[in-house]
Structures are given as structure tokens and as C-alpha cells.
Structure 1
């Protein structure tokens, strides 16, 4: 059954929360509702959770027609957007004598990770060797590994100033396209960088670790 038009659903509703609930119950995605009402995704998410509305989340693989490719988003995107998609908190960085360290060991799974400050996504990267190994490279910050050295400096500056830098990650499944292997993690990293434009990602996609 086709969904009603958004403008018809919200006609006569006075509060933003009422509009959000009505659109979600009609079957629209949280991201679609946020874009239509021109509000932040976190607002839609909070209303949905408070109302016990579990729908509005996109799952699985969706093939988009060329004309529907998403353009870059100028404002910062909160980590809630990625958590709803399946990202999980892995830990956070802490200061140690002479550098930085992890508060606790992180997963050894490979995948895509994000560094987050105050719920805002600051950096997106990928690792094939496991989150634990990649975080160790950042912790070490060797000057010959330019990306690790640069990000180490940024994290050190932030946590020295008392800022909490959280780590989130996700491990997309292996995929195939017409019988050919697809690196879902690499595609996810590239797509997120293009969509979010994280401020710590210096020149698009960073080297894989």
C-alpha cells in the first residue's frame, strides 16, 4: 500500500512532535522525516524513542537510481545517525604519560570506525587488520605513518584539554555483486566521508590500516 504524501499527513497538525509521530507511523524513515521537516535527525530519533515507535530505520541493501544519489550534508551529523544504522561504541581515548591510550581494549574485528566528540562525528576510517591494531597505530603515532601521527596529535590536543573522544565501529558483512566480491567496509567508509565530510578527514579517504 502506497504511503500518503508527507504534506497531506502533517496538514492540520500544529506541533513538530505530532508531525514526526504521524510521519513515522505512516512508514517514513527517520532521515526522510528530518529532511522534510528541516529539523535535526536527533530530534526525530528522540520523539520516536519517547513514543515507542521502533520503525523508521532502514535495513539491508538499497540500490539507488543515479538521480537519487545523496548530496553532501553541510551540517555536522550526530553519532545517533550511525548508531541507528548499527554502529556500536568501542571505547574512548584517555591521556597517559607521554601520549594517549585506550580506556579499555577494543574489538579485534575489522570494519569502519568513527571518532566522536560531544556526539558529533569528527573522523571516519577503515581497518582490515582489526580495530585493536588500528587504534594501536594511532596510540603509537609514529611519524613515518603520516595519518596515524596526525590523528594522534589531534586526539592528544583534545584529551589534554579535557575533551572526551569516543570510538564507534561497525563491521559490514561480505557482499557480492553479480558473483563478484564487494568490499562493503570500503564502500561504507567512502560513502560516510562523502556524506558527512568529517573535519579530521584531511583529504577524502585516508590510507587503510
Structure 2
């Protein structure tokens, strides 16, 4: 069965475009384009849709704990704060590039890469642009958590770059990908399908 056929079939079952993209393993835009081409956008009113069935097995990945982060070289650098439903940025956050984790309690919820510096990356979470889907999603999740009284701590690590067979390797990009692939991080969409 082609991906387009699977997309059409899931639309007929009443799944949203985002749910279809996740189930088929394609981008949202790909699923949207298939549905638009077939005139299937909005065929089932949202109120009549059945709840999506998660066809993925529960995550067998272990959680990423604070102790594991600490053993891996991460340090706590701050806590997310919201005022009047806006995230407040701490200017003391690291300016260099690195890997960061959002931690609730003892468990990491999200791991990300700040290629242009942690402080600069976090600015996009505070005021996400119209096309920054990840920043918009995390902005909403962080505001919801913090305004509900949850404490979301920020941990960072700054691994050195390396070489492999004479080729340059990014230490921080490799660390981020490794963590996403190895641990259950509920706010990381990329790692949720693995």
C-alpha cells in the first residue's frame, strides 16, 4: 500500500492531518498535500471524529533521569518562569551552543540542540515566529506546565567537537540525536516514533 493510499484511508477513519502524518511517518505538509489533492480535507467534522488510536507500541525506552544527565555532563542552569502567560527569559543562560534538556521532577521531557547558543534558542521559545512549529508547540507546553504550578528546570551540556577518520564531528548534535534515540522524551516528536 502506498503512503498516499494509507493517508487517504486514515482520513476516512476520521484522523486529523497531524495524526495521519504521525501514523504514516511523513511530514504534516506531505499528508496535507495528499488530502488536498484528493479533496479530503475536512471530510469528517471534528466533533464526529473518533479518538485516534495509537498504533505504536508503548515506549520501551527508559526515561532520561537527572542522575543520568548529571553523569553525562549536564548542569542545571535555570528554571522556566511565566508571567501573565508569557515565558520569561533568564539573561544568565549560556550563550554558547550546546544541548539542553527540560526536566520536570526527576525526568527529562525534552532534549534539544542550540546551534547558535542556548540563550538565542530560548528566545524563540519565548516569542515563536509564525513558521516555527516546534517553538510554538514548546511555548504552549511550557506555559501550560508553568502556569499549572509545575517546575520545569533547564539543564545544559556543551560537549566538544571531535573528528572521526579525519572528518569533523559535532559533539552537541551527536549527543542530542543519541539521547533522543535512546530515551523516552515525551515532548520530543522525532523520538516518539522510534
* TM-score bin, normalised by smaller chain: 0.5 to 0.7
Secondary structure of the equivalent of 1:192?
A: helix
Q: Does 1:145 align with 2:132?
A: yes
Q: Does 1:82 align with 2:103?
A: no
Sort the Cα spacing of 1:87 and 1:73 in 2 relative to 1 into closer, same or farther, 3 A: farther
1:112 corresponding residue in structure 2? 99
Sort the Cα spacing of 1:204 and 1:77 in 2 relative to 1 into closer, same or farther, 3 A: closer
Separation in 1, partners of 2:150, 2:88:
14
| Aligned-CA RMSD value | 1.7
Gaps of 5+ in 2: 1-58
Separation in 1, partners of 2:178, 2:60:
12
| Runs of 4+ more than 4 Å apart | none
Separation in 1, partners of 2:120, 2:150:
23
**1:158-177 to 2 correspondences below 5 Å:** 158-177=145-164
Separation in 2, partners of 1:126, 1:185:
7
Gaps of 5+ in 1: 1-71
**1:1-209 to 2 correspondences below 5 Å:** 74-103=61-90, 105-204=92-191
CA contact (8 A) 1:113 1:170 kept: yes
Question: Normalising by the residue count of structure 2, what TM-score does the alignment of the two structures yield?
Answer: 0.65
Secondary structure of the equivalent of 2:155?
A: strand
1:73 Cα deviation from its structure 2 partner: 5.3
Separation in 2, partners of 1:78, 1:192:
11
CA contact (8 A) 2:64 2:108 kept: yes
Deviations 1:8-48 (A, max 9, x none): xxxxxxxxxxxxxxxxxxxxxxxxxxxxxxxxxxxxxxxxx
Separation in 2, partners of 1:118, 1:107:
22
CA contact (8 A) 2:158 2:172 kept: yes
Question: Normalising by the residue count of structure 1, what TM-score does the alignment of the two structures yield?
Answer: 0.60
1:103 Cα deviation from its structure 2 partner: 4.5
